[in-house]
Structure 1
């Protein structure tokens, strides 16, 4: 009996490790509101769902509170350490992003942008700039991951109005085993970098 339970447990673990999870992200940007929707599906079952209103994340007073009780020298030291920590965090984020993107399969990309600057000439120039940014981002994603779809990109300029609306939808997948391996790799590299910094 015990061997049957162990065998079933091993089979379930193998199936889960080889299983592919699908992650769907939708970001909607308006001038006064930015909404992020994200959910994760496993075998067609939604196991995670989250809606975040990014416009409600107010950090405008955090810096004022930080420097309120500090003199000039303490403030400079704090800024120095904050900048140092920021660049270390950026390096870790870039490293983790590269490791995970190499294992991702991209199944859907839709990126629509409607906008107007209020001036015809400015709108035309901005449209070209937006196309350049979108092309660069998709090219970068194509180099770092496996795009298995044709990205649907649209830029619609409005020459009579002044507004911006953008919607980005993306669906990616990764095998659970690959995700675990990537996470272990990120932790190892991050720990090794911290040890080097201490030395």
Structure 2
């Protein structure tokens, strides 16, 4: 009987530790022409639970090279989706602590004057996106943003890395809230039809 009691106590303590300890998630995105790599690592205590790298090779369909210009067009598409994803992102970020934030970009359009103006625009956009995310989450770091203009080249590369931490109970609560939001959006879409 005491052995069973000890085993049950151990299991209970393990469950409590799992639910109250922090989980750290590292996300890294590397983008180069015809190359996209996403790496996700999940650590609990000092144990790496997930270490997954996904490489997505892609080519521009129209043969166009990746430049700051294509980056801006992709950001415009993201901006159009912003009202729909605002509630989702706000819900997802409210229980997350950002421990590390690095976002490096380099590129050019081929014309030095246009590249300089575009680099300034990229700085502004990255600053707005970063401050918006930091405001919605619990910030515990100083963001590292860099833009390197390539004045005589038509090229684009990006490196993004962040580390966040959360408790599993908060993650479960966030997932439930996200499912509620998605369910209510689907009901609204059906009512509109």
Q: TM-score band, normalised by the shorter chain? A: 0.7 to 0.9
What residue in structure 1 maps to residue 88 of structure 2? 96
Quote how far apart the aligned CAs of 1:191 are.
4.0
Shift in Å at residue 131 of structure 1? Answer: 0.3
Query: Match for residue 126 of structure 2?
Result: 134
Cα 1:117/1:189, change in 2 over 3 Å: closer
In structure 1, distance between residues paired with 2:152 and 2:36: 24
RMSD, aligned CA: 2.5
Alignment of 1:118 with 2:120, yes or no, is no
SS at match of 1:160: coil
CA contact (8 A) 2:34 2:58 kept: no
* Farther off after superposition, 127-136 or 45-54: 45-54
Aligned to 2:6: 4
Matches within 5 A, 1:25-174: 25-56=27-58, 91=84, 94-174=86-166
Cα distance in 2, alignment partners of residues 116 and 195 from structure 1: 44
Q: Which runs of 5 or more structure 1 residues have no equivalent in the other structure? A: 60-86
Match of 2:70 in 1: none
Instruction: Quote the offset at 1:94 in angstroms.
Output: 4.2
Q: In 2, Cα distance between the equivalents of 1:23 and 1:38?
A: 7
Indicate the SS of the match to 1:124.
helix
* Counterpart Cα distance in 1 of 2:122 and 2:109: 13
> In the alignment, does 2:15 pair up with 1:23?
no
- Measured after TM superposition, the shift of residue 6 of structure 1 is 2.5
1:40-60 deviation digits (Å, cap 9, x = unpaired) = 11112211111112335999x
Structure 1 residue runs of 4+, over 6 Å off?
196-199
> Could you say what secondary structure the match of 2:57 adopts?
helix
Q: Distance in 2 between matches of 1:189 and 1:138?
A: 24
Larger-gyration structure (1/2): 1
Residues 34 and 59 in structure 2, CA contact (< 8 A), matched pair in contact too: no
Q: Which runs of 5+ in 2 are unaligned?
A: 62-80
Matched position secondary structure for 1:150: coil
Normalising by structure 1, we get a TM-score of 0.75
Supply the distance in 2 between the matched residues of 1:192 and 1:7 (Cα, whole angstroms). Answer: 41
> What number of residue pairs does the alignment pair up?
170
